Amino acid sequence: MSLEILGIVVLWAFLFGYVIVASIDFGSGFFNAYSVLTNRSDILSKIIKRYLSPVWEVTNVFLVFFFVGMVGFFPQTAFYYGTTLLVPVSISLLLLSIRGAYYAFEAYGTTGHKGYVTAYGIAGLLIPASLSVVFTISEGGFVNMVNGQPQLDYTALFQSPLTWSIVVLSIVAVLYISSIFLTWYAWKANDLRASDLMRRYALIWAAPLVIAAAGIIVEFKGHNPVRFQNMVDLWWMFGISAVIFLFTIGLIWKRKKYGLAVILLFSQFAFAFFAYGISHYPYLLYPYLTIHDSFTNKAMAIALVIAFVLGACLLIPSLYLLFKLFLFNKEYVSGSSEDHV
């Protein structure tokens, strides 16, 4: 395996970690806001806040690793994506600031304020929508070279059906992933009311997920036939993802083995996510930038690999302790630890 491929695999793995963790985080915030606005906060708010409290601060660690690694391994991405992503990333940062401010208002202001909760929930859906625009831009057809400088064609971007199909999929995936995870998490906490309600949401968002995924495939065929053919060549990976999806929904429908359903959920998205990444090879920005012509020098690449390995050695044990002390701690999950305070 070449250093170029090793670098992009490592980065893609970190990005996948962010997609999963952030989806649960963002979706949980939305469902918390929805429960408050529909007067169901007595069912969901406690279990959701119990999950969000220890997790929200570490969510963006994966994203930081990805951006630092992307610029480090592939320096030219800063040139092509720097000004191109100025508006989408600025919007995302603003929305992240709103989410961060929510915790301050909750901690020091009025707890359960509908305005704060609503802004927090909506921001959680708009962040993946704004970040997903990066995937659309990378498909080509939206960046023009003017006097040697890349310029984003906003008119073409926002008029493209591919853009909106990817945005819709990102929002639906967030709601689907978080609803299944919270179904299991509430069940583990012996909160059957919350678990049944989240199970209902999971089943509701399953069909839109299939429709959104199918819509993207159709749009790829018209937008970039070469990329579409690459995805067709990897039909077996997408097929495995589809089969796992059916098993996951089957378990949720039958109210069986929610823990296994969560594992299958992660596996389903792993196959689809890595299939998409492989089909994109070797382009970082079609057709201008590939992983080969933008790779850093060998010494820098080796240093980055070592740094990422050391970072993973710190991150993984930290996440393990986080899960062990909070998410997988029976007293914390059930809320009994709070009762003794």
Residue 135, pLDDT > 80, answer yes
To 10 degrees, the CA torsion angle through 240, 243, 249, 252? -80
Average of per-residue pLDDT values in the chain: 86
Residue 292, pLDDT > 90, answer no
Which band of pLDDT confidence, cut at 50, 70 and 90, is reported for residue 112? low
Instruction: Decide: 209 and 172 in contact? Cβ < 8 Å.
Output: yes
Instruction: Give the mean model confidence (pLDDT) for residues 335-341.
Output: 50
What is the structure's pLDDT at 331?
A: 66
Reported as a pLDDT band with limits 50, 70 and 90, residue 47 is confident
pLDDT surpassing 60 at residue 109? no
Structure tokens at 126: 């708009």
Spatial contact of 211 and 171, defined as CB atoms under 8 Å apart: no
Phi, psi of 297 (to 5 degrees): -75, 165
Tell if the pTM clears 0.85, that is, is over it: yes
In the chain, % of residues over pLDDT 70: 89
Evaluate if residue 257 carries a pLDDT over 90: yes
Long-range contacts (CB closer than 8 Å, 24 or more residues apart) made by 194-198: 194/43, 194/44, 194/46, 194/47, 195/258, 197/40, 197/43, 197/44, 198/31, 198/44
Task: Report the percent of the chain where pLDDT is more than 90.
Answer: 41
The tens digit of pLDDT for each residue in 4-18 reads 888 899 899 989 988
Domain boundaries, the chain: 3-339
Does the pLDDT of residue 27 top 80, yes or no? Answer: yes
Torsional sign, CA 230, 235, 237, 239: positive
Residue 241: per-residue pLDDT: 96
Between 116 and 150, residue with greater pLDDT: 150
Reply yes or no on whether the pLDDT at 340 is more than 60: no
